[in-house]
Structure 1
Amino acid sequence: MKNLHQRLTSKLRQREKGGNLRSLKSYSGYTDFFSNDYLGFGNSIQFDTIHSNNVGSSRLIAGTTDLHLQLEEYCAGLFQNGKSLLFNSGYSANLGVLSSLPQKDDVILYDERSHASIKDGVRLSLAKGIKFKHNDFSDLSNKLIKNSQSTVFVVIESLYSMDGDFAPLQEIYNICEKYQAYLIVDEAHSGGVFGENGSGYCAEKNIKPFLKLITFGKAFGANGACVVGDATTIDYLVNYSRPFIYTTALSSNDTSLILQQLKRTDYKIKQDKLQSIIAYFNDKFDRFSIQSDSISPIKSIVFRDRSTLRSLETELHKQKIGVKAIYAPTVPENQERLRISLHAFNTFEEVDRLYTVIEKHEID
């Protein structure tokens, strides 16, 4: 019998030798250019009411409270569909949807740069998973034509978390309508940041996909997630989605906080402040080759040389500037990058400090 710890140690040493070994570290006191708290709501939480901390059960046993039902009703209205269902995280929401809805002989077409939770959901599904080229609706069309005899689900993100670019929503929606495919849009990084009252990028573009996934742990400054869709589909998830059925429900405190955050009245103010910081960043970093969308709060600077990227990350952290380098396997080896997140609470002076450090390093 092989020694397990020898195998684990070997894999860890392989990562360490490659310079991409992951570890945990506190970044307390750093200027924040790396969290997903885009509107700053996570740093301004005040509970209106304190509830019991834990419901102690799954939703289908004793874990459903009036608060859960009230929140799900509110989400259905805000995110513009018939019904919604709470999950404990965006990751579990993607697993819950993709492992249960698509069946054997169905096909899931997903963008090649989709989040790990989407890819893991596809792996758990009985359906056949096929990736299409990033934001390439021509490639998507070809794959839909080839699978026209199957029930097809198309899965995309509205705003991609590593590249900071938007999906061509209208084009992909039109293609799905043409070929009668079911479009699922993960709005993890666009919910809150876009749309009236934070309703998301789909709502801003007046596009209504088959399902939307909204994450509360980023711009909304809370925790958990919801899936929004028609009543029949949500009822199906209640009955067949294992990550929903066999998980302890969100606590009453979590549920109350989500509802409180969703009902805030300062979304437009925070969105405008965020866009002013984004515009300032764009002007300041104009000489850099940044592929991210101009209005995206996510900015990626790609490095071809890992040692240069590592050196820059180290220097930024010495200056107490919180930016994370993203290494393979999270991104391809030739696309390792500095991922910068901008926030409504960042200042022009903080952007200036960030620029001063980055400009000193030679970037391909």
Structure 2
Amino acid sequence: MDDTEENGEERPSKRRHSVYTDDPPSAQEPSISSRQAKHLKVQSLLRGHFNEDFQPTRATFPLGFRKVVPPCDLEGFLSVTATFRPVVPPNSYFSMYADVSDSRDVMLQKAGGAVCAAYEIAYGDQIAVYSAFMASALAAQQIPYQPQTSLKRFLVGMHKKRQNDKTRLAQFVAMLPGFEDISPADRNILLAEKSFVTNLLNYIKYCHKGDYYYPLPGPEQIHASNYWMEIMGLDPEYIRFCYKFSSMFNRIGLTLTESYLLLAAAFFDPDTTTASDKALLKHLNAFYLDALMYMIGYRCRHPWERAAVYHKFEEAVKMFHSLPAVPSMV
């Protein structure tokens, strides 16, 4: 039905003014209520450096971000919004607090969705290959006998792996809300300086009892095992740190999406980079850590279970302060 009365007079338009446009509403449109205005103010304050709908823009990733199906560990999470709104007058302090709380929860949930889609796109095929390789090696006891190949071929594979890791990391972080607000110079610094810690976090799930289980790129499926680390002459202390780091974080029992929320937080950590905009990085680091804690809290419903996970997490993150110098050949 159109907006015309039976007598031919035009009805007042029911179309509401868009909350994301700077154009003023027409004279016939209803004015924004004080509650709506307060909601817009809260949205503006909380959105900060992020996109309007808290997703990567089409310019950032043009292949159809919204078509990505979240994996199973996000089922139910994104559809649930914790609401603590009491029955009180709309202008009261408690009502205003509920607005902030609800908006914050929605943003943290969308952060989980954004990170989930980003790792599905940047790392999804790699996760499938590595998981299958590890399952075959451990469950089926088909661990490749070393040496599979020559040292020269192994080093060629390691070089391809390093290039592959850099490409995937750049693709992953480019889809994270907030990355576009970082200056180009700081982006380059972060991508260079954070490659070691992000690789550690990306590969921890393939560590088991003092060895890593993932293949190098290429049809040979060369097992990048402890054997080759020793052959290359890496510092034993460095090797022990990598295994201890992986073991500590594996003890937490993070889901895949939680692991990549942690990777996002580590990437933006202002204390482990020479990038200049410390205030923005501190904001992004705190935001992704907050999203991680929120998601753990949703998954671990019992307080004792949640407290145990938080304690393990606090112990593990202390290792960020003792990251070793990276050997040139790694």
TM-score (norm 2): 0.25
Greater per-residue strand proportion = 1
Structure with bigger RCO (C-alpha 8 Å, 6+ apart): 1
TM-score (norm 1): 0.23
